[in-house]
Amino acid sequence: MSAHYDQKGHARIDPAALRRRLADVATAIAGTEDRVADTLERMAVVRPDDAAGLMARATQARQYAATERSWAATLNLPG
């Protein structure tokens, strides 16, 4: 994202570009949360004594991913 400058040399940020960048970041975070959930679910298989807690954390990670995707979708709406 590049800044534009007004006549006085003050940086001006393009709101649409900022929204796109934030949406990209939210999407990347969602992907990371999905990978965390996948890892926790695999751990639950090999650690049966900890499976309930690991699966609960995996569910929470998936919820975070859904929240981030929702943010990304909102940010990608025409503003």
pLDDT by position in tens, the chain (length 79) = 556 666 777 778 888 999 999 999 999 999 999 999 999 999 999 999 999 999 999 999 999 999 999 999 999 887 5
Residue 61 inside a domain? The answer is yes
Hey, what amino acid is at 73? A
Residue 1 inside a domain? The answer is no
Residue 6 inside a domain? The answer is no
Residue 40 inside a domain? The answer is yes
CB neighbours of residue 49 within 10 Å = 7
Range of the domain at 55: 14-75
Residue 3 inside a domain? The answer is no
